[in-house]
Amino acid sequence: MSLLEQVDAPTRLRGMTVSELEELAEEIRQFLIDKITRTGGHLGPNLGVVELTLALHTVFDSPRDRLLWDTGHQSYVHKMLTGRQGGFDGMRKPGGLSGYPARAESEHDLVENSHASTALSYADGLARADAHRGVTGRSTVAIVGDGALTGGMAWEAVNNTTGDPERPLVIVLNDNGRSYAPTVGGMGTHLEKLRAGTSDHSVFEQLGLAYIGPVDGHDIHALQEALRRAKVSNGPVVVHAVTEKGRGFEHTERNTLDLGHAIKPMDRSTGRPLSSSSGPSFTSVFSAHMERIARERPDVVAVTAAMVEPTGLVPLQEHVPDRVVDVGIAEQHAVCMSAGMAMGGLHPVVAVYSTFANRALDQLLMDVALHRRAVTFVLDRSGVTGDDGPSHNGMWDLSALQMVPGLRIAAPRDGTRLGELLEEAVSWDEGPTLLRYPKGPTGPDVPAQATFEGMDVLTRSGPLDVLIVSVGTMAGVAMDVADGLRAQGLGTTVVDPRWVSPVNDGVAHMARRHRLVVTIEDNSRVCGIGSSVAQSLRDADVFTPVRDFGLPRRFLDHGKRGEILTDCGLDGREITLAVIETLPGLPHQDGPRVHDSVDVEFERITLRTQDEQETR
């Protein structure tokens, strides 16, 4: 039996010698490489914290001592040491292990933090609670990646932590010089000087924290000694551990872009993905158009928050480096800074994941929109992202951001529409604009058969029974629903508004001619596009019923995007059945009734598209 097979809880580690722990570290690396190259996941960050995690679990007594991981993608080794080795074959699959700490999995996971710069605030709160209740004899430990220290929330916590020098708290700084990419800004430069021994005092000491380090993050004995010193400290202390992201696997060590930060399933011998690409992704299409626009428009500048590579900005950065600004994990600063750039005559394009845009809502609302600044936001990974679990789904962006006055929101259904809508967005100078699209391939283009008041009519046939308003990439599902309804003798019109918020007046003009309006979106039903369409119809005195289909008001488990959408009832079959059940109680139209010039335009579209179908 290997050493790793003997470890089913942290207590198993405490009788091991340093030599045995070093042997165990090698077994852990090989286990990670074997499993994560098969399932995909955050390989590089976890290869870098093997010895650090072993040292933490030999010095501290989890779960009595609280270990908080910031960010949680570096917790795979922690999962292995706390009895979850058997779950790695199902990592990030339905019913399998989460790629982040998960309270439902283990009492050793206290918080489910996969958004950076949060652990210090959690830790400060836990330490305050212990002090308030008179609890002693246990430690609170926050393991913070150096990239997370580029986030303002981390420094808000540091500022408050130092306010009480008698409150114990251990901050383990896992310094590998990177988040996704090399750590930017003054903090990164300062840590580099500490690593090189060219700085006499750390910023932490100047702020009132004790400081231990730098320590070799792959020397178990040195780490244990440093952590033991920190454990008996009476106040807040920083242990500075220097680690190597991607350590021990040639294909992550050679990948200078992100050192294997998050990999897809790969052949471990070659480092190549196991599955071939299924076509261009939305990210790559945005990347190509963004580079072209930036070359044509000297005022366009890309802004991102530690996500140059994941959002597709690497080609632009390589070819025109002064046109990409990476602020680190600091979304609030990115957005407010962009407002200032717009005031100065530039047109910033802020590219982040949808889930991280949540963190800058106040800045978008009060600093960009209130000042009517022309800033374009591009939200990658909108809707259901899947594998990374509940915290990374972009299922709230439409709900949260539709309320922002003056913000125009577009949802491209395919690659061609992404290019067109990005061009329109950066050409708009009356206020902010936003594009949202999902993770994954664009799929084939879905052409429009006609246009109506700036909206794309994707298909139209039969009587005026159901108007389907499709949001972004749900166009494929909308077309499936139309096919299913036509098979039952029901007429359908499918329209893609392109710009989904504010709701186009043409939706009301179309809706009053139909028996039922159906909206389909990969956003929360609560305050989603469906809710806005229903409100816009009421405002226009149109009383056609609305059935809105979207994501439920709950956190979604990890899994593949398609599986999750089906589980939520967002597939052609389920929606078709629901619509068929709804229609019998609704009145029929009395036949064509032309009310005004808008209806005349709609009738012409209907005739034209019907003629095209008959020709086929």
546-566: pLDDT as tens digits: 999 999 998 888 878 888 888
Structure token digits, residue 13:
């580690």
Structure token digits, residue 237:
């202390």
Task: Determine if residue 249 is labeled as part of a ligand binding site.
Answer: yes
Q: Which residue has the tokens 């967002």?
A: 570
- Residue 50 is predicted with a pLDDT of 96
CATH code at 3-253: 3.40.50.970
The answer to whether the CB of 340 falls within 8 A of the CB of 333 is: no
Q: How far apart are CA 596 and CA 217, in angstroms?
A: 74
Mapping DSSP onto H, E and C, the string for 311-345 reads CCCHHHHHHCHHHEEECCCCHHHHHHHHHHHHHCC
Which residues, in sequence order, are CB contacts of 283 under 8 Å at separation 6+?
Answer: 310, 311, 312, 380, 439
Q: What string of DSSP letters covers 522-553?
A: EEESTTSHHHHHHHHHHHTT----EEEEEE-S
- Residue 616 is predicted with a pLDDT of 36
- List C-alpha distances in Å: 322 to 236, 282, 316, 326, 346: 40, 24, 9, 11, 13
The answer to whether the CB of 147 falls within 8 A of the CB of 329 is: yes
The answer to whether the CB of 575 falls within 8 A of the CB of 569 is: yes
Phi, psi for 282 (deg, rounded to 5): -60, -40
Which residues, in sequence order, are CB contacts of 584 under 8 Å at separation 6+?
Answer: none
pTM for this model (two decimals): 0.90
What H or E segment, with its residue span, contains residue 401? helix 397-401
CATH code at 450-615: 3.40.50.920
Task: Determine if residue 115 is labeled as part of a ligand binding site.
Answer: yes
Task: Determine if residue 112 is labeled as part of a ligand binding site.
Answer: no
* Nearest CA-CA partner of 546 in 576, 512, 577, 574: 512
The answer to whether the CB of 351 falls within 8 A of the CB of 333 is: no
| Domain locations in the chain as residue ranges | 3-253, 282-436, 450-615
DSSP state of 183: P
Task: Determine if residue 102 is labeled as part of a ligand binding site.
Answer: no
- Residue 607 is predicted with a pLDDT of 56
Q: How far apart are CA 485 and CA 562, in angstroms?
A: 22
Rounded to 10 deg, the angle between the 119-133 and 152-161 helix axes is 20
Q: How far apart are CA 119 and CA 413, in angstroms?
A: 37
Give catalytic residue positions. Answer: 245, 331, 359
Reported in sequence order, the residue ranges of 217-276 that DSSP labels E, i.e. its strands, are: 236-242
Are β-strands 499-501 and 408-410 bridged in parallel, bridged antiparallel, or unpaired? antiparallel
Task: Determine if residue 331 is labeled as part of a ligand binding site.
Answer: yes
Q: How far apart are CA 445 and CA 280, in angstroms?
A: 12
Task: Determine if residue 148 is labeled as part of a ligand binding site.
Answer: yes
Q: How far apart are CA 368 and CA 372, in angstroms?
A: 6
The answer to whether the CB of 48 falls within 8 A of the CB of 244 is: yes
Q: 401-435 in b/e burial notation, b at 16+ Cβ within 10 A?
A: bbebeebbbbbbbbbebbbebbebbbeeeebbbbb
Q: How far apart are CA 534 and CA 401, in angstroms?
A: 17
- Residue 595 is predicted with a pLDDT of 55
Based on its alpha-carbon atoms, the radius of gyration of the chain, rounded to whole angstroms, reads 27
The answer to whether the CB of 494 falls within 8 A of the CB of 457 is: yes
What H or E segment, with its residue span, contains residue 215? strand 210-216
Task: Determine if residue 275 is labeled as part of a ligand binding site.
Answer: no
Residues of the chain with pLDDT under 50: 591-592, 594, 610, 613-616
Q: Count the Cβ atoms, other than its own, within 10 Å of residue 352.
A: 25
Are β-strands 499-501 and 236-242 bridged in parallel, bridged antiparallel, or unpaired? unpaired
Which residues, in sequence order, are CB contacts of 258 under 8 Å at separation 6+?
Answer: 44, 178, 180, 181, 309
Q: How far apart are CA 577 and CA 490, in angstroms?
A: 12
Q: Count the Cβ atoms, other than its own, within 10 Å of residue 125.
A: 13
Please tell me if the domain spanning 282-436 has the same topology as the one spanning 450-615: yes
Q: How far apart are CA 180 and CA 309, in angstroms?
A: 8
CATH code at 282-436: 3.40.50.970
Q: How far apart are CA 80 and CA 56, in angstroms?
A: 13
